[in-house]
Structure 1
Amino acid sequence: MLLTGKRLVITGVITESSIAFHTARVAQSQGAEVLLTGFGRLSLVRRLADRLPKPAPVVELDVTSASDLASLSERVAEHMPAVDGVVHSIANAPASCFGDFMATPWEDVASAVHVSAFSFKALAGAVAPLLTPGASLVGLDYDARVAWPDYDWMGVAKAALESVTRYVARELGPHGVRANLVAAGPLRTMAARSIPGFADIGETWNARAPLGWDADNAEPVARTVCALLSDWLPATTGSIVYADGGVHIIG
């Protein structure tokens, strides 16, 4: 199996529709051992962890908390002595960041960039003591090459995430650690529902995608994440892999 023996930390499991949950499920089906992180509603995350093919341990992580980050490797080590892969599926922005780009205050922009982009570096640094040579960090992206309607400052945060990932890849490459992103097409997740205009984008995506697109099916994206977590792309780092049905190539 693709991930036999791999020990993975997966963040961002909020609902069964989330990309993170589907990634955890697919990873387990491919032989991986999985640990989830959650913030706030830990009881909900634990219930979701119990719905996986094999119940997974859960540790608390607020990526904006210095104390949470400082103790993360120690708390993860209670469940797995080393980590072969990490999935960063964390993004958040205040409502003001969507729909009126010119009116958003800096404080809200700073929050969006902190949680959605800087956190990739913060998470990488927090788990670094446990990472094995050949480990893989994978983040979830949304194509930031263009300006999407109403996506506004979250689009800027995703562009920052893409840049942060390249620098993390540069810094951790000498240690044998890869860092990449998967740019997913629109999926009907809880996070997506908070984005104005998402329904309109989702409706047109399938028509534009050369391979077609099902906004209710996160498994193709989860499989792409798992491919990057595996040993089958050992020379790929600092890259963006598109799992969007091909929309990114259409003019």
Structure 2
Amino acid sequence: MKSKSNKGATTAALTLLITSGMLASALGIRQVNDENNVTAWVVNKNMSAGQTITVHDVAQKDIDPSNYANMALSIQNPRALIGKKLATNKMIEQPLFDTDFVRAKSQNLSEAIPAGRVLYTLKLTTLDIPLSRVHKGDRLDIVAKTNRLVRTVARDVQLIGVSKGPKTQAANSGVMDNLAKETTNSAGVSLVLAVLPKDVYSLAGIDNADKVSIIVHSAYDIEQGRLQNFSRLQTSRTIEVVKGVKNEAVYVAK
């Protein structure tokens, strides 16, 4: 009787030992797999080609890189995903790559100019606003100061782009922010603007000695179709002076 009891206890102990070993092996394999996983941005639902990615369509998930040969090329910055149109179908929890999106067609420069405007490049040696905060489509006003005379050069100017000089490359922090802070030893910056034809000669008349200021209009005002009027800042008037056969415009205080 005692022998049968010992035999049963031995069998139970062996069964428990085998079960524990199997569980330990499974946990060990799972831990190794978890350590090999990488975090990636994936779609959280099935999506078809032609759909546009929104913030509600993506999520972060741990992925086994062995399932994808090019996992290292997956997009890690979520800002690079939002607003892009899919070129391929994507299944739920699949990572996203650059090749999954429709490539933007290159646009001719003339196509970027709004109707009724012309392109003008304004070169500035210094700029007091952070260029990282201004974007294509922003509405600007340009004011110039000559000695103590202030004049409005152009109103309702639309920013098309920014062209930076070769010496404005920053080594550490953001290039655009450093452009705004540089005051000396700078190659300057050129603003590519869509301006009204009537403002071309006023812009061309800006002298190197003039202090040029850029006024940025609120996006909320633009959405409602209105721009702030600061005509009261006009502290000078234009007088045309005739010199022989040439006419010259000068600015005098009111």
TM-score using structure 2 length: 0.20
Using CA pairs under 8 Å that are at least 6 residues apart, name the structure with larger relative contact order, 1 or 2. 1
1 or 2, which has the higher strand percentage? 2
TM-score using structure 1 length: 0.20
1 or 2, which has the higher helix percentage? 1
Larger Cα-atom Rg: 2
